[in-house]
Structure 1
């Protein structure tokens, strides 16, 4: 036969336990790390939430400062002078099956990373705000889910910027750019030349580009303003479903221009807009200058406007 027994604890033992229970988790942990990196090395940065700042400097090394949020497991640094990986390790949240929903526990962390100006940079984030400035390596890649992405004074050989619901704002010089969002807005400035591809579902897009060899743009419901110059023999392919599309071109543009819409309006200071005799639909075909390049714009119900400046 088992008997139960109660245990009486003295006040001297209870008091320390109460203090421990009421104590908060470890406070935010300061970061101050430095690692060597070649002038043209590669840096990968992974921080789920908080803030990531990347800045270029003239030293052959990477400086990592900032703070790890409360409850974060630690900062992982792996690699050598050619490639360095920086990762904030977050504990798993909850106890879902197979760890579903894990890896994002703890408080947000802030990273300030200074890299050689010629380094390639790859940033992965979920809800962290990402700011990149001054980098000019072979490649810049930023991938975010809900955090905003801001790039300034960058000169990468190629750039890949993506966010699901966060906004993309970039002022950069590059000859190869791809920008993608689902519901986030896109704003591009600078000497964006060469090849450009832009995709958005419902976000608005505003682009001021340089001399492009090729532009591919697609949107579903977001409005777009695309201002660009077309290189000799270059091409533009712009498609939208229901969003408004403004295509802004310089007076010296040399290209064949073709615009089609099923139920949206087409307006242009050049050429003649023709409507279908039976049913909806309108079309514009004309030549700008010598007609060396090709510009095609299509919409289903969105209005299309051609602006010559």
Structure 2
């Protein structure tokens, strides 16, 4: 990421770091012994020449939302996909999903488009359409075999994310949802750098109730604040279990430190809502259908609807 302020210098950099954009990056005396020395010395300096093309492509997208966590397995992809299905219920709205989880692309499965292929034209890459107003882009469409491992270093991952944003012909979208992998690493730095100039509405941060998840989510919140990404709010996923038959509630992951509500209060954030665990969500994701259409009366669906209403209000689309 090309930093704009001293705050963007890596935490493990030396005290007198000249900054990764400096011509002396990796060469200054202060760089000796820094773990980032080789990276800084070999990284091209100055503004990315592809940013104008990315900005031109993204300027036709009204609202851009990142779905983040820091923790794996909390339901980022399932939330992103169900949010996309819900937004696309309005036939007058165009929705896109960009899956930048390079090593674990699950969006094609969750959205029912496994085995589809990307087509290229003289205007760019064509995303895969789930329905007329819902398009998806993922590396999963590029793999010869769905079981193939993607064993890439950071620069190659960054290059593909840049292509997704620069070369995909999204046309005029009302919403672009970006599904991210766990952590605060290459993919997150890249998407932040490339998308910020054209404007990001904000990030939705997904967690589960237990402290072991909240610890990683705190790091993601810190990343957003250092990168200047607005946080729309937190979503507590798998918040208890509601029996589909009797609607009895059970606590599966005890919120020993207060769960997402306590974290939101501590860090002055909005809790968008809590989604109870429902095994039918997993079934819908495995079969690539909209959970909200299949089970509209379920408590999980009602929780999702309330969260979506808050998102609309926050980004001014209510």
Instruction: Report which of the two structures shows the higher radius of gyration computed on alpha carbons.
Output: 1
Query: Taking structure 1 as the reference length, what is the TM-score of the superposition?
Result: 0.25
* Greater strand share, structure number: 1
* Greater helix share, structure number: 2
Query: Taking structure 2 as the reference length, what is the TM-score of the superposition?
Result: 0.24
